[in-house]
A = this chain, B = another copy of it.
Amino acid sequence: MLSSAVPIVEPSPMEGYSSAFLEKEAAAQAEFEGDEGGEHDPESNSLRNPLLKRTPTLTSSQYAVVGAKVSHIESLDYEINENDLFKHDWRSRSSGEVLQYIFLKWTLAFLVGLLTGVIASLINLAIENIAGIKILYLARYVTGFVYLTGVNLALTMVAASLCVVFAPTAAGPGIPEIKAYLNGVDTPNMFGASTLFVKIIGSIGSVSAGLDLGKEGPLVHIGSCIASLLSQGGSESDDYRLKRKWLRFFNNDRDRRDLITCGASSGVCAAFRSPVGGVLFSLEEVATWWRSALLWRTFFSTAVVVVVLRGFIEYCNSGRCGLFGRGGLILFDVSDVKVSYHVNDLLLVALVGVLGGLLGSAYNFVLHKVLILYGRINERGRMAKLVLSLSVSLFTSICLYGLPFLAPCTPCDGSAEVVCPTPEGSGNFKQFNCPSGHYNDLASLLYATNDDAVRNIFSSSTPSEFRLLSLLIFFALYCVLGLVTFGIAVPSGLFLPIILMGSAYGRLLALALQSYIHIDHGLYAVLGAAALMSGSMRMTVSLCVIFLELTNNLLLLPITMFVLLIAKTVGDSINPSIYEIILDLKGLPFLEASKDPWMRNLTVAELAAAKPAVVSLESVEKVARIVEVLKHTGHNGFPVVNWPEGSAELHGLVLRSHLVAVLRKKWFLKERRRSAEWEVRERFTSVDLAKKGVTLEQVAISEEELEMYVDLHPFTNTTPYTVVESMSVAKALVLFRQVGLRHLLIIPKYQGAGISPIVGILTRQDLRAHNILAAFPHLANKKHK
């Protein structure tokens, strides 16, 4: 038997790309065979020679840029799959097992918080010690320069080479991919153990190297990685998870999605020490679906994180952690500033918002161009990526070291309570090259970690500390660095660069208009940072709470809200948010909530008509037909339709992965019949179906087996979501997004004998505005009118 088994697909060099390539090939073949009138199995008719000839114009790519590589991506199954096997699984669960499941959910949420908190604390500890020691031993002039540049290059080298060699997906912030995951797009290799490891070490390296990037985005990614790994029992592959008995209830994408939401919130919480802000960030920016129960669980995770952070800070306050930990829970405390403002202040604050929105969208625009350029460089291979990263590091070191020499020395203000110049490594008034009693204001900003720089620029009651020129240099430098640093191959966050840029901008504005303003310059820096964040990232409530928790000044809240709203409005009228730009650049098929007005003028039937005809199976199907369908199409779901005497039965939808699982288990019937329940349960458990990533290439089927049958009843989701063919795309999109679908079946208006109960099938890719407009260009014209 085994000797006659032949592999179905020839091993080819293009294995990863097989399905889409094969789809085209199959289409070409169908054309050819149709012309020739060649004989073929009548059962495969609908596939190779569609009854209704259509021009397949709605093409959609299943590829996206992951890391710097083009990879095949798939959608996730967030829909409740009601097939016999899964239904049996729920029904057979005892109440003890249900309790166990609930307990497990909460335990995992707790562990996500705990581990994220611990890892974030360790990262902070490492960064502050490495960067602190680096600055402490900094000598003057040429030696100093060589030393600084060398250390920074070495640290960048560690971060970049780890990223390049072991985990290309660890580069960048990771937030867009998490956003896409929660929307239903599975980016491969995003949440593995190697990614987590590289992200942790890489973050420490790149932040300590003084690059203009933050650890915020990476921490969100780290939190999500921890969540994903926990939900899989610590392993990157599904197999291990399913083998663990206690984890077998986590065999669906929904539970994993919830836990990753907890992880993302925990990450934000750990980054900003902002538990409520973390929850809201997930809610507003990252998550696509949200339930009240999830809100609560997420909140629990962030509560755990904040307790861990607090415990760490308290432990370190007694000096047991080296240079780390002299500070409280609040990162940039400005609570001691009295906020009082009048109507004319509101005008200037509005100006902060408007300019922030303009600057933010300009930043998005230029960063978009830079990322395209970097994409071309990174395509050239590992060496190019490394060289790029090191060049940016070198450029940063030169600027940080050299620029303070441009600033003149400022005499200390004797009346101030603070020691000036500050004696230590970190502090607000750095002596640098100045005589005693004087300080170099630019050095105070540039010879510090990024966190310290923000603290210095937020400092209150020091309106004359920084000169206009120094602030201008600082602002210009960080504009350039913020643009050139983000795209390099190291873990990098967007928050801190934008906060640095924004705070400089705010303080600059305050200094320029100082005769008109009554609010402290430090608060203007806070407002500037908020404005630029909102202008670039377009968040409102979550940013507001994050800033509240960062600065601990509740009275600042009303004006922060106004600045955020104005900046967002201005920004939104110019270009999309930075995350949308990155999602688009990477080609991730993210489904936006907003529906374009023209979507109301197109029906789902019109949309489906632009696709190749539906390929459907029967409930009891020949193995050969299944193999052929899997081989010749790239679809991930197939409608199961039966044709009993005089009528049609819409039996449901079967997933590609389940078909492959059946073929792999070789659960075949000799004759065309329906199987008994016990027959299936003897061979299959719900866990077998939950397995992912098995491809058709791994299955070998003999000629004999090809003639046998498979009973698809137990594997078919009998309750796919359906819409009437006359529904507008806009309305269908609401359903698709709100319920979290992967496949949406279109049923006909007219039903009767001989009429197929399925008109078409829509997937995420079909509903993306960009793809629709490509197939229906006249709608795009209408749009511009």
Contact partners of A751 in chain B: CB under 8 A: 647-650, 751-752, 755, 757
Contact partners of A296 in chain B: CB under 8 A: 540-541, 565, 568
| CB nearest neighbor in B for A719 | B727
Q: Is the CB of B735 within 8 A of A541?
A: no
Contact partners of A649 in chain B: CB under 8 A: 749-751
Complex Cα distance, B91 from A460, in Å, reads: 55
A382 to chain B, nearest CB (A): 39
Complex Cα distance, B303 from A557, in Å, reads: 9
Stretch at the interface among A284-292, A392-400, A477-485, A492-500: A284-292
Cβ of A16 within 8 Å of any chain B Cβ, yes or no, is no
Contact partners of A310 in chain B: CB under 8 A: 558
From A561, A646, A726, A785, name the one whose CB has the most chain B CB atoms within 10 angstroms.
A561
| CB nearest neighbor in B for A645 | B752
Give chain A's interface residue range (CB within 8 Å of chain B).
Answer: 35 or more
A82-B728 contact in complex given A290-B290, A293-B594, A565-B300, C-beta closer than 8 Å:
yes
A739-B750 contact in complex given A565-B300, A755-B647, C-beta closer than 8 Å:
no
List which A727-785 residues lie within 8 A (CB) of chain B: 727-728, 730-731, 734-735, 738-739, 747, 749-753, 755, 757, 785
| CB nearest neighbor in B for A288 | B292
Q: Is the CB of A722 within 8 A of B747?
A: yes
Q: Is the CB of B730 within 8 A of A80?
A: yes
List which A54-96 residues lie within 8 A (CB) of chain B: 80, 82, 87, 90-91, 95
| CB nearest neighbor in B for A91 | B601
Contact partners of A558 in chain B: CB under 8 A: 275, 303, 306-307, 310
Contact partners of A299 in chain B: CB under 8 A: 540-541, 544, 561, 565
Stretch at the interface among A138-146, A227-235, A547-555: A547-555
- Counting every copy of the chain, the complex holds 2
Cβ of A329 within 8 Å of any chain B Cβ, yes or no, is yes
A58 to chain B, nearest CB (A): 20
From B82, B306, B735, A735 is in contact (CB under 8 Å) with B735
| CB nearest neighbor in B for A647 | B752
A672 to chain B, nearest CB (A): 20
| CB nearest neighbor in B for A285 | B292
Q: Is the CB of B648 within 8 A of A750?
A: yes
List which A591-640 residues lie within 8 A (CB) of chain B: 593-594, 597, 600-601
Cβ of A204 within 8 Å of any chain B Cβ, yes or no, is no
List which A525-544 residues lie within 8 A (CB) of chain B: 540-541, 544
Q: Is the CB of A562 within 8 A of B303?
A: yes
From B330, B549, B648, B726, A752 is in contact (CB under 8 Å) with B648
From B275, B593, B739, B753, A738 is in contact (CB under 8 Å) with B739
Cβ of A98 within 8 Å of any chain B Cβ, yes or no, is yes
Q: Is the CB of A724 within 8 A of B735?
A: no
Contact partners of A548 in chain B: CB under 8 A: 276, 554
From B295, B600, B738, A540 is in contact (CB under 8 Å) with B295
Cβ of A412 within 8 Å of any chain B Cβ, yes or no, is no
Cβ of A471 within 8 Å of any chain B Cβ, yes or no, is no
Contact partners of A291 in chain B: CB under 8 A: 593
Closest 3 CB pairs of A and B: A647-B752, A719-B727, A303-B561
A-B contact pairs, 7 of them (CB 8 A): A80-B734, A90-B597, A291-B593, A646-B752, A647-B755, A648-B751, A721-B723
Point out residues on A near B: beta carbons under 8 Å: 80, 82, 87, 90-91, 95, 98, 275-276, 279-280, 283-284, 290-293, 295-296, 299-300, 302-303, 306-307, 310, 328-330, 335, 540-541, 544-545, 548-549, 552, 554-555, 557-558, 561-562, 565, 568, 593-594, 597, 600-601, 644, 646-652, 718-724, 726-728, 730-731, 734-735, 738-739, 747, 749-753, 755, 757, 785
